[in-house]
Structure 1
Amino acid sequence: MTIADPAPTALGDLQRLAAGTLGWLDRHLEHFDPFSPAARAAGHGRAKAALELALLCRCGAPDPGLARATALVRALWQHPDLPALLAEQPDCAAQYRLAFAALAPDRTTATIDVPSADGLSPYQRLELRFYADQAGAPHTLESYQELAARNQLATLPADPSAVSIPAAYAVTHSAFYLADFGRLPVRGLSGPALAHARQLVRTLLAHSVRRAWWDLTAELLLAAHCLGDPPLLTPGGADAVRCLARAQRPDGSIPGRSAATAADGPLPAGPYFARAYHTTLVTALTALRLGEDGGAR
């Protein structure tokens, strides 16, 4: 092992995280099918969960552990009742329709309306631009460079006491959109601005690990990867992977967004899925993206 190699322990933890989370998700696919009795009984956002599964399949593929999930997504995107389900929440309907088009297994030729950007923050405009581009929808939104310059990645101080949890999630999602979840080199940030963004993410990651905020920890690991700062080559990144590995249950799931909100004792399958699925899914996505190049980019 050279100084530029990820620690073998961290790589082993990453591989176990990927195998365990993918296995748990595969065994609970019925809860991702919004039209199944299991999903109706679980009490989670059924449309949101289906969109998140599609995102995992898009960004984590090709991986054999996602074969059945990918088949489910393809079937759901052909289901005649899915558009109506996406419209059930009026405040999210336009964004869900755009995400539905962006995450479609097969590019649609239908006309796609991009929601108005009036009154949106730079972060929200970046999110809108990312999904519009993925959907192939025409728009007049600013360039990635213009949006990145006004984004939290460039404007927040690298001080966790000055960053709220919602702002920290805006940081992670912004990194995802600027790099297409690690599928592209980061767009819109370079030089001192990119260095600042990397330091911000490192600082937030260390803080998140100390607080055992598992969901945010997984997202910050992926954000570091998206920014071209391989987390497994840093002590903080290796600590974050160990944090998630300790949180993972024998069944492969991560039992909640944080140690403070983790499922306390056994829960019925539906409520436990609602509690655990998001952090388990984002940990799977992070493990797949980081593991794609052995943890070093």
Structure 2
Amino acid sequence: MGTRSAGPDLAAVASLSAGARQWIGLHCGYLDEPSGRAELPVTPRVKALLQLALLRRCWAAAAPADPDLAPVAGTVEQVWRDPDHPRLLTVEPRYARQFQLMYGALAPAGPDADGPHRAVLAEAASGDLLTPRRKSPYLHLETRYYAELAGVPHRLLDYPELYRISRLAGHADGRPTAELDVCNVTHTVFHLADFGFRDPGLGGADLAHARDRVERLTEESVRRGEWDLTGKLLLAQHCLGLDPLSTPSGAAGLRLLAEAQAPDGALPGRSATDRAATGATPVEYFRKSYQSTLVVALTTVILLQGNTIDDPSDMMMAAAPGGVR
């Protein structure tokens, strides 16, 4: 996005970001604690840890010196060193190969570069996962992205062709946007653009088409009070070269998220109609809040990359984190 002046919108995004990042840092360790292993179902916990590893990767690329990154990186590194964790990736057979590929691709670099993920990657590549066989366009694109990230050989289609066969590309003008699945659209954009760290490679007409659909979906998600989906769509706007602080739908989305954020920094649910109940137990509150709060942390740390403001303390304005656990 480049360097912007320290306007109130940027300060508000910094505050939103600081709250979400601090909440995730305070509570992500629960995913690998005995209480978390006992209280959370295995497959949702595995998914949550993969999401955390993706956040760690993007956060380290966007703001490597951020001290709030340390607890997130520490949890990921601890899990990826655990020789028993790979077994959990295969508990749900229909997700096993994809989880294994993601686990291998998101392994943190460093002293444990030859840890358990190497054998897991080899197992994932032993079947037909890394070929085009029997894959939806979305799964094909996701597989290509993580195979490339992992540095493993594959026979998958290239990105331009995968975009051409995507649901986003195939959505005709004049058709209602309700036909589009927001997660499918946003993750298509994320994988093409490496979550904003490369150009998505779309030509003029394709880029205009994708921007139009994402902006219209953002407007609808804001109108419905969808916190999780709005966060993803704001990042998709950024990946397509838009500035969510400046587009009308992006500015409305950021206001929605700032207003929804709880005093402890969490987004306490996926939407205004799905927020955590007042009497929610700590584990219920965690399960309601984790997804949306992680999405906001991921989106805002990328949006704020490269921005400067006059008073660095403005970038860290956030309410004091509170106790999910």
TM-score, with length taken from structure 2: 0.83
| Contact 1:31/1:270 (<8 A) preserved | no
Residue from 100, 104, 113 that aligns with 2:103: 100
Residue deviations 1:196-250 (CA, integer Å, cap 9, x gap): 1011101100110000011000000001111111211212111110000011000
For the pair 1:155 / 2:170, whether they are aligned, the reply is yes
Contact 2:177 2:217 in 1 (8 A): no
Displacement of 1:132 after TM fit? 0.6
Gap regions ≥5 residues in structure 2: 309-325
CA distance in 2, matches of 1:158, 1:254: 34
Contact 1:175 1:227 in 2 (8 A): yes
1:7 CA drift (Å):
8.4
CA drift of 1:118 comes to: 2.0
Q: In the alignment, does 2:142 pair up with 1:130?
A: no
Pairing 1:236–2:249 present: yes
1:255 to 2:275 alignment = no
Q: Please name the residue that 2:278 is paired with.
A: 265
Alpha-carbon spacing, 1:198–1:262, altered in 2? closer, same or farther (3 Å): same
Q: Where does residue 64 of structure 1 map in the other structure?
A: 67
Partner of 2:38: 40
For 2:224 and 2:6, the matched residues in 1 are separated by 23
C-alpha separation in 2, matches of 1:139 and 1:247: 43
Residues 5, 233 of structure 1: 8 Å contact kept: no
Q: Conserved in 2, the CA contact under 8 Å of 1:158 and 1:199?
A: no
Cα deviation, residue 294, structure 1: 3.1
Q: Which amino acid aligns with 1:53?
A: L
Counterpart in 2 of 1:221? 234
- Larger mean Cα displacement after TM superposition, 218-227 or 151-160: 151-160
Q: Distance in 2 between matches of 1:169 and 1:203?
A: 14
| Structure-2 separation of matches of 1:102 and 1:269 | 32
- 1:84 maps to 87
Letter matched to residue 37 of structure 1: S
| Alpha-carbon spacing, 1:6–1:173, altered in 2? closer, same or farther (3 Å) | farther
SS of residue matched to 1:40: helix
- Structure 1 counterpart of 2:144, one-letter code: R
Structure 1 residue aligned with 2:135: 120
Equivalent residues, number: 289
Alpha-carbon separation, structure 2, partners of 1:159 and 1:251: 42
Amino acid corresponding to residue 263 of structure 2 in structure 1:
P
What's the offset of the Cα at 1:174? 0.7
Find the counterpart in structure 2 of residue 16 from structure 1: 15
CA contact (8 A) 2:31 2:49 kept: yes
| Residue of structure 1 in register with 2:323 after alignment | none
Counterpart for residue 192 of structure 2: 178
Cα distance in 2, alignment partners of residues 39 and 176 from structure 1: 30
Alignment of 1:160-171 (within 5 A): 161-164=176-179, 167-171=181-185
Equivalent residue for 2:213, pick from 194, 197, 200? 200
Structure 1 CA distance for aligned equivalents of residues 209 and 250 of structure 2: 17
The structural deviation recorded for 1:161 is 3.7
Which amino acid in structure 2 is aligned with residue 95 of structure 1? Answer: Q
> What CA deviation, in whole Å up to 9, does each residue of 1:8-54 have, x standing for no partner?
23212211111101111111123221x52134214471111111110
- SS at 2:264 equivalent: coil
Contact 2:141-2:191 within 8 A present in 1 as well: yes
Task: Tell me the amino acid that sits aligned with residue 149 of structure 1.
Answer: R
Structure 1 residues 199 and 6 mapped into 2: Cα distance closer, same or farther (>3 Å)? Answer: farther
